[in-house]
Amino acid sequence: MSVIDEKHLLESLQQSDKKSFSIVFSKYYKDLVHFAFTFTKNSETAEEIVQDVFVKFWENRHFIHISVSLKSYLLKSTQNKCLDWLKHQKIREHYKEIAPYITLLSENNTDQYILLSELQANLDKALNSLPDEVAEAFRLSRFADLKYNEIAEKQNVSVRTVEVRISKALQLLREALKDNLWFFLFML
Amino acid sequence: MESLENENVEILIRRYLDGMASVEETKRLGKWVESSEENKANYQQIKNLLDITDTRNSKMKIDVDNAFDQVLNRIEEKPQGRKWIKTMQKIAAILLIPTVIAGYFFGRTTERRMDAGKVAYNEIYASLGTRSKVLLADGSRVWLNSGSKLRYPDKFTEKNRVVTLTGEAYFEVQSDVSRPFIVQTQHLNVRATGTSFNVQAVESDPEVNVSLLSGKVSVNKSDEPDKNLAKLVNLIPNQRFTYDTKTGKSETFSGDLYEFIAWKDGRLVFRNKPMSEVVKKISQHYNVEIELRGKELQDYRYRATFEEESLNEILKLLKMSSPIKYSEVNRVRLADGTFSKRKIIISPL
């Protein structure tokens, strides 16, 4: 969806066109649930929150002004709701001590956030640019759900080396995806 | 990376995001993140990547259609009385999208060829799932329904205006009393001067229908040379003539005919129609195969107007308002490399 398409979409949505609403919904719902899940760690709550976001989005459609992009607007709305939700969670015993940091560590830069679907569209390309053993360690850890000692055994290296490889993968991926970010922003 | 230089900050972040970090580690990470904008940006990028590559997250099953239904339910006011009809009509009125326009472009395959005389003939075909619109030389307009074919001359003769139709079309004929407008089909000819009417003569269907909206038409058998014997009926507006080409039986219905011509406006109108017919229309409109299972569904009466919703939206609305469920058959790759036609199975709840 280009920037222009998105503008048209928003305009007709503001004129109460439910078709446009359904297009926006199908485009962003999944990614937003994945995003909300990073706060809630519970899929039902994540879905509830994102559905609330869309209901509000529809109800307030006439007053919505989008400055960056629709994506970043929806991410921001979702994040605000998630942070509220976090604050209302039962405070665990040790929570008080780290409470000042929870919001800080939970917040995302919604203007530059990479969505799961965007990552998936580019991940193979990005991973291909990494050294094989680094990409493999990353895949095993993030997609095959293996523990570091299991990866170490599989790759026949020390746990420490696995940790280094995964750090390396993250660093290289961030660089690779940073280049792509501009591409993303144009596409959205 | 500031005070955490010696420690691998990414490992700390991973521990924290995995919920493994101790209170001490969390505080240390927090302090590091707030100590500079750069640290914060780095933290957020790493967190972003780790969050979306967390398999608990990325492998989550999310049913978008179901979620959308729930959101729709919440933003729709709940009307009194026959709730689903009103809901349906409202949705139908709102969801307008000009997919028909695309059909006008993609649906046309025009073929010109010279006949024995000097008149050039055109043939236009509306591909399955699309509808086409044709402007004839005399200013008459024709809407061609999905899978239908119209053959017409570049110019009409001085005596009459003859076109040949296979399938279904709606005609708005320019008035010209001196030159009758004749639609030839395999079994019937429809003769008009200045009128609006719909002719449905689909090859695979033994029933031929002519619906008259305005003006006057006469319907004749096309294979009967004797004029008097060929004559079947003269229609007046709001009459629909049905002729069974197998048995030769015919009947005339009088009443509101909009549901029979709504397709030209991109609408599907069902007024108390059995599910079997609803399904037939939908499959023609969207070029999709639909299998209706269960006897009780065949006769389930349905009333709705659809206006250029997508097939998925229509199925969803059907599901909301009648005791059905549906599933889609996986498309298989055929020997020639193309994929089999989309197929939906509708069965009772």
Nearest beta carbon to residue B57 from set A34, A101, A108 = A34
In chain B, count H helices and then E strands: 12, 19
CB distance A148 to A159 below 8 Å: yes
- Please tell me which residue, B12 or A67, carries the higher pLDDT value: B12
| Confidence (pLDDT) at B183 | 93
Does the structure show a pLDDT above 60 at B92? no
Nearest CA in chain B to A51: B71
Q: Which of B5, B38, B68, B71 to mutate to test the interface with A (most CBs of A within 10 A)?
A: B71
Q: Does A8 touch chain B (CB under 8 A)?
A: no
Query: Among A52-61, B37-46, B227-236, where is mean pLDDT lowest?
Result: B227-236
- Please tell me which residue, A74 or B324, carries the higher pLDDT value: A74
Q: Does B12 touch chain A (CB under 8 A)?
A: no
Does the structure show a pLDDT above 50 at B83? no
Q: Which residues from chain B sit within 8 angstroms of residue A116, using beta carbons?
A: 52, 57-58
CB distance A175 to B87 below 8 Å: no
Q: Does A25 touch chain B (CB under 8 A)?
A: yes
Does the structure show a pLDDT above 60 at A145? yes
- Percent of the residues in chain B that have a pLDDT greater than 90, as a whole number: 11
Nearest beta carbon to residue A119 from set B10, B52, B96 = B52
3-state secondary structure chain A: CCHHHHHHHHHHHHCCCHHHHHHHHHHHHHHHHHHHHHHHCCHHHHHHHHHHHHHHHHHCHHHCCCCCCHHHHHHHHHHHHHHHHHHCCCCCCCHHHHHHHHHHHHCCCCCCCCCHHHHHHHHHHHHHCCCHHHHHHHHHHHCCCCCHHHHHHHHCCCHHHHHHHHHHHHHHHHHHHHHHHHHHHHHC
| Confidence (pLDDT) at A2 | 61
Rounding to the nearest 10 degrees, give the CA dihedral for residues B209, B213, B216, B221: -10
Q: Which residues from chain A sit within 8 angstroms of residue B60, using beta carbons?
A: 33-34, 37, 43
Q: Does A181 touch chain B (CB under 8 A)?
A: no
Q: How far is CA A71 from CA A10, A25, A185, B212, in A?
A: 12, 11, 9, 51
Find all residues with CB under 8 Å of B24, minimum gap 6, and list them: none
| Confidence (pLDDT) at A181 | 53
From A152's Cα to the closest Cα of chain B, the distance in A is: 16
Report, at the CATH architecture level, how domain A116-187 is classified. Orthogonal Bundle (1.10)
CA A188/CA B177 separation, integer angstroms: 58
Confidence band for B213, pLDDT divided at 50, 70 and 90: confident
CA nearest neighbour of A108 among B311, B254, B45:
B45
CA B193/CA A188 separation, integer angstroms: 54
Structural domains in chain B plus CATH codes: 2-58 (no CATH), 99-260 (2.60.120.1440), 266-348 (3.55.50.30)
CB contact under 8 A, B64 and A29: yes
CB contact under 8 A, A29 and B56: no
Average model confidence (pLDDT) across chain B: 79
Query: Among B125-129, B135-139, B159-163, B249-253, where is mean pLDDT lowest?
Result: B125-129
B159: tokens are 């005596």
B106: tokens are 């993609």
CB contact under 8 A, A105 and B44: no
Q: Does A96 touch chain B (CB under 8 A)?
A: no
CA nearest neighbour of B168 among B60, B284, B252, B273:
B284
Q: Does B6 touch chain A (CB under 8 A)?
A: no
B141-178, pLDDT tens digit by residue? 898 888 888 998 888 888 889 999 999 999 988 888 88
From B340's Cα to the closest Cα of chain A, the distance in A is: 26
Q: What is the CATH number of domain A3-106?
A: 1.10.1740.10
CB contact under 8 A, A29 and B68: yes
The domain spans of chain A are 3-106, 116-187
Which residue matches tokens 């329904």? Answer: B145
Does the structure show a pLDDT above 80 at A114? yes
- Assign B299 to helix, strand or coil: coil
Nearest beta carbon to residue A34 from set B43, B50, B58 = B58
| Confidence (pLDDT) at B130 | 78
Q: Does A16 touch chain B (CB under 8 A)?
A: yes
Confidence band for A24, pLDDT divided at 50, 70 and 90: very high
| Confidence (pLDDT) at B7 | 56
Average model confidence (pLDDT) across chain A: 83
**Which of B168-177, B222-231, B310-319, B336-345 shows the highest mean pLDDT?**
B168-177
- Please tell me which residue, B133 or B227, carries the higher pLDDT value: B133
| Confidence (pLDDT) at B116 | 44
CB distance B87 to B76 below 8 Å: yes
Confidence band for B66, pLDDT divided at 50, 70 and 90: confident
Does the structure show a pLDDT above 90 at B6? no
From B260's Cα to the closest Cα of chain A, the distance in A is: 26
Nearest CA in chain B to A96: B23
